[in-house]
Amino acid sequence: MTYSTLLYEVTDGIATITINRPDKLNALNGEVIAELGKAAEAVARDVAVRGAILTGAGPKAFVAGADIAELAHLAPGAARARSEEGQAVFDRYEQSGKPVIAAINGFALGGGLELAMACHLRVASEGAKFGQPEVKLGLCPGYGGTVRLPRLVGKGRALGLLLGGGMIDAAEAHRIGLVNQVVPADEVMGAAQALMSSILENGPLALQACLESVNLGMDLSQEEALSHEADLFGRLFGSADMKEGTGAFLARRKPQFRGV
């Protein structure tokens, strides 16, 4: 599959997806959203891909937001459709069943922060900046910002960012739990790759179960979430990976998981 606005490559089971519009600070337009959807489908379908890293080209921005020149001319109906399309694409990464890490270099604003929050983990450069500045344009977030941000950092902190429209730095983003790791700018991709590699040493079915349990559990009562967790726990006991993992532990050797 070829892309006009993305770079897509797979190495050692890790798909690296780079939004490649550095002259526009990797701003999200309709074409980028559509191609991100195609890349998400490629990650989900390809059995050789066990995880994905999302990043932006150049040192200045992960994604500096939506392409305002394009958005400014949308009618209300078209704007709603764009919001629904973006939400659906971002959901594909969150619900893919394979771990997705955002490697954040520079600005992650508006739709960029919303994309990063749809990833399961976030590694940021020390100079990265984060924010949801939509209110400064007379808008609200449209790609999941009002939903994912409070779930990640709590209602009060989320409203502070959403209503104020300001930016925070990487240290503050780490302090409030918005990002998982902060590293020097030249180490962002290396840190994201190392983190992904350590995750992929584990059983793929177990990883998928953890992602499913957390994603679904956020929308269930505690009783329902615990019941679903028990279902997943029991299901894994029927897998060859579980037998391999426990057998390797008892034999004091490294497991060789096959995802079955």
Could you say which of 134, 172, 187, 223 is catalytic? Answer: 134
SS3 state at 5: coil
Give CA–CA dist 60/112, Å, rounded. Answer: 13
Q: Name the token pair of 46.
A: 């390809």
Question: CB of 200 within 8 A of CB of 13?
Answer: yes
Could you say which of 85, 114, 224, 229 is catalytic? Answer: 114
SS3 state at 103: strand
Q: Name the token pair of 231.
A: 């279902």
Question: Is 94 annotated as catalytic?
Answer: no
Give CA–CA dist 251/150, Å, rounded. Answer: 44
Question: Is 114 annotated as catalytic?
Answer: yes
Q: How far is CA 114 from CA 33, 143, 169, 234, 237, in A?
A: 12, 6, 16, 34, 36
**Residues noted as catalytic:** 114, 134
